[in-house]
Structure formats: structure tokens, C-alpha cells
């Protein structure tokens, strides 16, 4: 069995309310920013590089204490692939997105809209965890 590891982010901004960034991939599904690490990169370096490559966003801050991992299987060319994705929670003040050629659209959505639009159950679960963590985090900071 083939094994893969990727790193991604639940990206949000505060614009009066919390908005989450979701991307539409060429195959049609809506998902989060993620990608494979390059030799010598840390997890966070991979996340920042992928964020910039996929969206053009360069100003990003990691929210301390959030690092979640999901696992799933999928088929590629008749072979089963075991995939592990490590997600971080990242805030940006940027609104404008410049998509890479692997994406066809993007949306900034409030939590309920993001949950409705995201295609895969495991990504929905990640956004749910991130939203719950963030709500608690912001209430402790008084925001």
C-alpha cells in the first residue's frame, strides 16, 4: 500500500464574523488548502508555502495549540493509498485570493456555509474542530 502525508490549513479571517476559506479543485470538490512537504521543510513551512502557492496569501498567523490529523484511504490508478493530513489553524487579514492552476474557484464563508459547501466528511469534521477550538480561543482572548 502506498502511504502519503500532506499538510494543510483551516484558513480564516475576521471580517465582523468568522469566515473560512474553501477552494474548489479542478475535479469539482470543495476542500481546504493542503499539499505535500518538500525535502527539508517543517510542517509549518509546508503549510505557509502551500497557502501562498494555492491562494497567493502571504500574511498568515498560526493559532497556538491547534494541530489535528486526519487519515483516509483513496484509490489512485487501481492502488489503495493511505493518506494522512496534518492540519493547522491559520488566520489571515487578506481577503483577495489568487488561485493556482489546481483550483477553479474559492469562497470565504461563515461556518455554516463552509460546512454546507465542503465536499468530504473528514474535511467538514476538521472545520468543525477548528471552529470549536477557535470559538473557545477567541472567547478567552475577549474577542
Tens-digit pLDDT profile for residues 94-111: 999 999 999 999 999 999
**Mean pLDDT taken over the chain:** 95
d(CA 126, CA 132): 10
pLDDT digits (tens, 9 = 90+) for 28-65: 999 999 999 999 999 999 999 999 999 999 999 999 99
Give the mean model confidence (pLDDT) for residues 72-82: 92
pLDDT the model gives residue 143:
61
Q: State the fold for domain 2-141.
A: Nucleoside Triphosphate Pyrophosphohydrolase (3.90.79)
pTM over 0.85: yes
Classify strands 33-36 and 2-15 as parallel, antiparallel or unpaired.
Answer: antiparallel
Burial (CB < 10 A; 0-12, 13-18, 19+), residue 5, is middle
**Grid cell 502525508 — which residue?**
5
Q: What is the pLDDT of residue 92?
A: 98
> Which band of pLDDT confidence, cut at 50, 70 and 90, is reported for residue 16?
confident
Which residues, 6 or more positions from 140, have their beta carbon under 8 angstroms from its beta carbon? none
Domain residue extents for the chain: 2-141
Report residue 5: phi and psi, to 5°.
Answer: -130, 135
Amino acid at each position: 500500500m502506498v502511504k502519503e502525508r500532506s499538510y494543510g490549513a483551516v484558513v480564516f479571517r475576521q471580517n465582523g464574523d468568522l469566515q473560512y476559506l474553501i477552494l474548489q479543485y479542478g475535479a469539482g470538490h470543495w476542500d481546504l488548502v493542503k499539499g505535500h512537504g518538500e525535502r527539508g521543510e517543517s510542517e509549518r513551512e509546508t503549510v505557509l508555502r502551500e497557502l501562498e502557492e494555492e491562494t497567493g496569501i502571504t500574511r498568515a498567523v498560526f493559532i497556538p495549540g491547534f494541530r489535528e490529523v486526519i487519515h483516509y484511504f483513496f484509490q489512485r490508478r487501481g492502488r489503495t493509498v493511505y493518506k494522512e493530513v496534518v492540519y493547522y489553524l491559520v488566520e489571515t487579514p487578506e481577503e483577495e485570493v489568487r488561485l493556482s492552476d489546481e483550483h477553479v474557484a474559492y469562497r470565504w464563508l461563515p461556518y455554516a456555509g463552509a460546512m454546507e459547501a465542503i465536499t468530504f466528511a473528514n474535511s467538514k469534521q476538521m472545520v468543525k474542530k477548528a471552529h470549536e477550538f477557535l470559538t473557545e480561543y477567541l472567547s478567552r482572548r475577549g474577542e
